[in-house]
Amino acid sequence: MDGCLDQASGLFETAAGVFGLTGALPGISNAEDDDILVIAGSGLFDEAWYIAQNPDVARSGINPLIHYVQHGAAEGRVPFPGFNAARYVENLQGNERIRRNPLAHYILHGCADDLLAKGLLGQFSIPAIRLAMNRLAALPIFKAEDYLVLNEDARATGGIADVEPVNHALVQGFPEGRSVFMKTTVARALGAAAAKPFAPLPDVRAAPALPEIGVFYNAAGNAFIREIAEDIAASLAAAGQKVRVLTEESEIEGRPDLNIFVAPHEFFHIGRGRDWAREEILRDGFLYTTEQPQTLWFERAMPFVLMARAVIDIAPQVADIFGACGMPAAFFNPNVRPVTRWLEPGDLTHPLVRVLPKAARRVEIKPAKFADRHIEIAFFGTESEHREKFFAKNARQLAAYEAFLYYRKVESPLLAKGSHAALSRLAGHVAAHSKLMLNIHRDSNGFFEWHRIAKLGMVSGAVVVSEPCLPHPVFKPGVHYLEESGRHILNLMQWLLHDEDGQRHAQKIQNNANKAVRDADYAARNVNALLWFLADHWRPGAS
């Protein structure tokens, strides 16, 4: 930090000239003397402003700078607009103790970034905060004015408590759970990203030499996240890469050299995961983000994502948005394998297994044709306004089908361990016995919900019927799944289930999806591209 400013040089030559101070001053210690000279030489002290702000100083006739050094600084008075001495002192704590006037210290040793607010991110260094701010400012979904509209209290008022919006958003907005991104701006950025063509995956190259990779998930988090972590690890392992699935309970010091943290919105927020929110871990870490950017969950992960080595996103459009802020960003969906058995022995007594039609309780599931499946429509998802409207509007029509609609209102996430762990396995099991897998988006942002559509639906041979989705590089509407607006989706499902042409069409879609999820050539290129992304951005020996 030293040498950020060059004002220290030549101080003594100019000091006398500025205020006409010569020689030692009466009643002033040597240290204060030195502070005064340093400050005077910097030209930063705003004498006129100081007097205007402090009429008592003007009346007293004391030289304003001397007053500031002798009394004003200790009294919290401000030497020039915007200099927040308390923030400066706080930022330097832990590094060194300031034994002199903070402005003089700042002139000699500090730089502009030392005046940044750390807010609730006090454990991170100023360079880490600056990096994250620069990335945030460059994100297409962030606009300072949006942030101020959403958070009027963050607007500058002219006092020293003012914090630049991007700084405020990072250190207070995200950690306090405020809305940072405006929904229309997010939608516009997604729309722009969706319009871009996908670059084809490069051909497989010899795999780079990488150390063992740790893939982390939070054991107290959502059961689906654990599955995604396991699928990422399995994809890497299948390519010959050494990999371990780990949780927040692992020893921090004993972590592998190269790490992927899945679902940072959970990982760094729940239980012992909070201990992992350290600068040196993030700086070298690859964060695998799974949330949609219009959600608070996504925002919750942002400080960590923006400080990370690189980000890998489950959606290509979000990876594109991250890439625009200059940080290394990649899109990756794990390679999925056909599953013939979802349930574990203990799951058979689960209440939702016990309510299944008997034919749909068979644990070992042979790939079944569309016509041979026992449940007509399956849905798994948590409550949202959009889904609530859909189900309330279509309840009467849905009631006519053999269905399994697990629309969940309980707020807690599906726990990876504990009583509801079976639910994520159950979702796969039900899909494997279902003709149609219904996908109703959480809101009007039509994400391609990879986990539900590909991992649960296509892998299990259920024909996915979805509201329109953002484009996906592999899975195409009308080929691998079907799209229709919520208004007409019941008509589509009725056609698929009850019309002979519809049934034939459904079987065709199932065949196409089956082929796509079993495409070994794509799987090899997919994981090879990830390995090279890791190799290109990993810093060996950094941990």
At its nearest, how many Å lie between another protein and the CB of residue 405? 5
At its nearest, how many Å lie between another protein and the CB of residue 346?
Answer: 15
The residues, ordered by sequence, that sit 6+ positions from 85 with a Cβ below 8 Å of its Cβ are 73, 76, 78, 79, 102, 103
Which two three-digit tokens encode residue 446? 């039509």
The least CB distance from residue 93 to another protein, in Å, is 41
Per-residue string for binding with another protein, 317-356, x by CB under 8 A? ----------------------------------xx-xx-
* Spatial contact of 36 and 65, defined as CB atoms under 8 Å apart: yes
- Output the DSSP codes for 431-476: HHTEEEEEE--SSSS----HIIIIIIIITTTPEEEES-----SS--
Which lies closer to another protein via its Cβ, residue 398 or residue 459?
398
Query: Are residues 318 and 499 in contact, defined by beta-carbon separation less than 8 angstroms?
Result: no
Please say which residue, 73 or 375, places its beta carbon nearer to another protein. Answer: 375
Output 243 or 360, the one with its CB closest to another protein.
360
Q: State in angstroms the smallest separation of the CB of 334 from another protein.
A: 27
Taking the least distance from each CB to another protein, the nearer of 232 and 430 is 430
Told to check if 407 binds another protein by CB under 8 A, we report yes
Q: How far is the CB of 462 from another protein (least distance, A)?
A: 16
Instruction: Closer to another protein by CB, 24 or 399: give it.
Output: 399
**Of residues 460-479, those binding another protein (CB under 8 A):** none
Nearest to 118 by CA among 152, 98, 88, 150: 88
Give the whole-angstrom CA distance, residue 58 versus residue 64.
8
For the beta sheet containing 375-382, the strands, ordered from the edge strand earlier in sequence to the opposite edge, are: 403-408, 375-382, 434-439, 463-466, 482-483
Cβ proximity of 110 and 164 under 8 Å: no
Of how many residues is the chain composed?
Answer: 543
Asked if 108 and 8 count as a contact pair (C-beta separation under 8 A), the reply is yes
Site string for another protein, 408-437 (x = CB under 8 A): xxx--------xx-----------------
Report the distance separating Cα 404 and Cα 379, nearest Å. Answer: 6
* 449/469 Cα distance (integer angstroms): 8
CB of 401 or CB of 475, closer to another protein: 401
Identified binder of another protein from the candidate list 5, 150, 403, 474, rule CB under 8 A: 403
| Shortest separation between residue 400's beta carbon and another protein, angstroms | 7
Per CB under 8 A, which region of 265-273, 405-413, 451-459, 505-513 contacts another protein? 405-413
- Contact between 405 and another protein (CB under 8 A)? yes
Nearer to another protein, 210 or 456 (CB): 456
Residues 372 to 401 in contact with another protein, rule: CB under 8 A: 388, 391-393, 395-396, 398-400
- CA-based R_g, the chain, Å: 29
Q: Are strands 482-483 and 463-466 parallel, antiparallel or unpaired?
A: parallel
| Distance from the first to the final alpha carbon of the chain | 23
Please give the residue ranges that form the binding site for another protein (CB under 8 A).
351-352, 354-355, 357-358, 388, 391-393, 395-396, 398-400, 403-410, 419-420
